[in-house]
Structure 1
């Protein structure tokens, strides 16, 4: 069955997760803890971040959860912000993260567009930070649809935001592939009736993704060869 559209996760898929977010988290925790080592350690434990390695652990909720869920996990340790203020702060901070594209994105996306594919992004990050990051990467205009956890469609692993892409783009779910690095991405794709492509530029291992994916690729750059197989 031909694939007419590709819906991409953002973090761990378009951008390498560890290279983009490990350093950002170190700075974030330092800022929010205001020099209190105990508070910083508590926040790190809440999001499963290793302060010594300055890296997320594979079980971190940050990997696949929504911006709202991350804010809720950190809120008990941030006394000077309301939950709403912290949620907004995380989105603003994420928008400024040092991006590490998984592949040269403009060239890759233009290759898919030249094949007539429709492209979208659905992330559990906030839509505003996603749009800013894609703009900074020079590729926002390649996507017909960009949605976040706060765009009104819900968040993964629910299928609703994926189906919203299909409706907006005028494509059938069975002719669409969800591309992501986490089980949330693949579970959402399955629930939406889509093809599912796992990539290894996030934190999950091949053996974790394979049972839930039609194919697991090293990175999104291998999608063209998959189409031509």
Structure 2
């Protein structure tokens, strides 16, 4: 299809900038094993409660971790962890996630440089915590490359609501219609659509391509393919 001239490019983080399964699979099993404190049966039940196969570390497409906020992701664990509150467990996972090694979905440094050199303004909108997102951007050597970064706790709401998308457009002074929301989940695409943005889906998350395609204006294997489709704005 013909892609319009897009000045603003707003990226989801997990599953878009970074490969979802490769980044979060083993981390999540390690996290629930730590919560289980040596109780192997409890660790299995915790993993299954949040949609992760305890043997393969593969995420189910409907896992609350995949597109939800940290609170939504860990809420199913609370009935199995009577000693934890939602606030304490959220703080615990946010702290641990900020230190998780990230596996890029493409060669991010050259890609980001090329997009910026072509005249695109870049941003990040994630349902992760803002502090964790900043830590991951820094660990990838991309600090200073994004004009906007928002997490679910940045005051704009969480996806699938369009608040972060509209906040990006406002912050960088670009009409939403001249921006793209780029993500790997239906939450990303719904947020972009509600904001009036062009919607680009990538297949480096957990949601199957056939589920993404009907909701996307463009479907790509990963963000490394972006430059060949984007005209100079």
TM-based fold match above 0.5: yes
- Kept in 1, the 8 Å contact 2:11–2:123? The answer is yes
Tell me whether 48-57 or 119-128 shows the greater mean CA deviation: 48-57
Of 87, 96, 114, which aligns to 1:84?
87
In structure 2, distance between residues paired with 1:121 and 1:110: 15
Of 78, 85, 98, which aligns to 1:75?
78
**Displacement after TM superposition at 1:132 (Å):** 0.3
Structure 2 match to 1:165: 168
In structure 2, distance between residues paired with 1:141 and 1:107: 14
**Displacement after TM superposition at 1:59 (Å):** 2.0
Tell me whether 214-223 or 35-44 shows the greater mean CA deviation: 35-44
Encode CA deviations 1:62-121: one digit per residue, 9 max, x unaligned: 111111211322222233332111111111111111210011111100101101111000
Structure 2 match to 1:218: 221
In structure 2, distance between residues paired with 1:56 and 1:208: 16
**Displacement after TM superposition at 1:192 (Å):** 0.5
Tell me whether 42-51 or 217-226 shows the greater mean CA deviation: 42-51
Encode CA deviations 1:167-210: one digit per residue, 9 max, x unaligned: 11111100000000001100111100000000001112221111
Counterparts of 1:154-193 in structure 2 under 5 Å? 154-193=157-196
Tell me the TM-score normalized by structure 1.
0.96
Of 144, 156, 172, which aligns to 1:153?
156
Give aligned pairs, total: 229
Counterparts of 1:114-133 in structure 2 under 5 Å? 114-133=117-136
Of 107, 110, 121, which aligns to 1:107?
110
> Aligned to 1:143, what secondary structure does the other structure show?
coil
Structure 2 match to 1:50: 53
**Displacement after TM superposition at 1:140 (Å):** 2.4
Structure 2 match to 1:10: 13
Tell me the TM-score normalized by structure 2.
0.95
- Kept in 1, the 8 Å contact 2:29–2:47? The answer is no
Structure 2 match to 1:142: 145
